Amino acid sequence: MTNEDDILQAVYQVILDRKANPTDNSYTAALMRGGIDKILKKVGEEATEVVIAAKGGVCDEIVYETADLVFHLLVLLGHQNIPPAAVYDELRRRFGTSGLAEKSSRPLPLAP
């Protein structure tokens, strides 16, 4: 396991702990109490903030906002009981494959 995996896993474990043992003064527990809609709203907000930071081109702001986005994605994964390793496995599966080829191999979504 790399250092990057270690910190992501450590943060994820704290998220799971806050989910299992919520307290009134925990931001993560409040997100979990708010349910999927509250979590998705935060993911969307943080993704937008990454876009704005990237457009501004200030490296420190991009890093800060990306960390916020990754944290909220980990909260989403924790809420859905999906371990980060599942995402790592999917990235490993895709590694070395053209992004265009990988995307074209996906089944077409069903029309509503």
pLDDT level of residue 105 (50, 70, 90 thresholds): confident
Give mean pLDDT, residues 89-102: 83
Find where tokens 């809609």 sit: 37
pLDDT level of residue 110 (50, 70, 90 thresholds): confident
Helix axes 84-94, 3-20, angle to 10 degrees: 140
- 90 in Cβ contact with 106 (< 8 Å): no
- 24 in Cβ contact with 83 (< 8 Å): no
Tokens (6 digits) for 36: 């999927």
Model pTM score: 0.85
Considering only CA atoms, which of 2, 12, 111 is closest in space to residue 70?
12
Domains of the chain: 3-87 (1.10.287.1080)
Amino acid at 90: E
Confidence check: pLDDT of 100 > 90: no
**pLDDT digit string, tens, across residues 34-70:** 999 999 999 999 999 999 999 999 999 999 999 999 9
Cα 18 to Cα 80: distance, rounded to the nearest angstrom: 14
Confidence check: pLDDT of 21 > 90: yes
**pLDDT digit string, tens, across residues 72-95:** 999 999 999 999 999 999 999 999
Tokens (6 digits) for 17: 């702990």
pLDDT confidence of residue 38 = 98
